[in-house]
Amino acid sequence: MRYAPAMRRWTWVVLAAVLGRALEVSAAEPAKVDDIVVGPSPMVVMPPPVKRPINWEPFILTGAGAAMVGIGVWRLFAAEADYTTLKALQATPSTTAGNESVLTQARGLVQSGKLNTGLGWALVGLGVAAAGASIAWLFVEGLEKDPIVLFAPLPGGAAAVIEGRF
């Protein structure tokens, strides 16, 4: 089959164009599969938030409550020791010490006993309240805790996701 002279010229041009395009496509990177984004055009696809493995705040509050109860009980024992010393002071008359020094020592023991008793019961009450609040907090929140705030940059601004129980 014979081609017309004009067709012969165009055959080489078309063949060169097809070959050039094939080389260009083979040299390019493989096509990526785009993420499916539903929504407005400048939308950022954010990864799911990472959960904390444990909700540690109630345990810290429980430890603080236990420390307050321990210090409160220690203060109550110190108050009992002050009152025991006061009782022993009244039972033994002192011939060498004057009445003024015995009275001053007794007043000091009474003030110390009252202070230790008040501080002891206040710390025991606060410690028990803190431990109870931490147990309630743990039942409400659970052992795992979601992140509260997550930020993502957007073209011309930012987006925020807030999670939690209110």
Give pTM, 2 decimals: 0.54
For residues 128 and 73, the answer to whether their CB atoms sit within 8 Å is: no
Supply angle C-alpha 7, 9, 13, rounded to 5. Answer: 110
pLDDT tops 70 at residue 33 = no
pLDDT band at 102 (very low <50, low <70, confident <90, very high): confident
Residue 156 lies in a domain: yes
Region 133-151: mean pLDDT is: 74
- Residue 12 in any domain: the answer is no
Mean pLDDT, residues 99-107 taken together: 82
Secondary structure (3-state) at 154: strand
Residue carrying structure tokens 């429980």: 62
Assess if residue 78 is contained within a domain: yes
CA separation for the pair 1, 145 (Å, rounded): 80
Question: What's the domain count of the chain?
Answer: 1
Q: Which domain holds residue 145?
A: 57-162
In a domain, 6, yes or no: no
pLDDT band at 99 (very low <50, low <70, confident <90, very high): confident
Give me the mean pLDDT over the 87-100 stretch.
68
Question: Is 152 part of any domain?
Answer: yes
Q: Is the pLDDT of residue 152 over 70?
A: no
pLDDT in tens, 54-74: 778 888 999 999 999 999 999
* pLDDT of 52 higher than 60: no
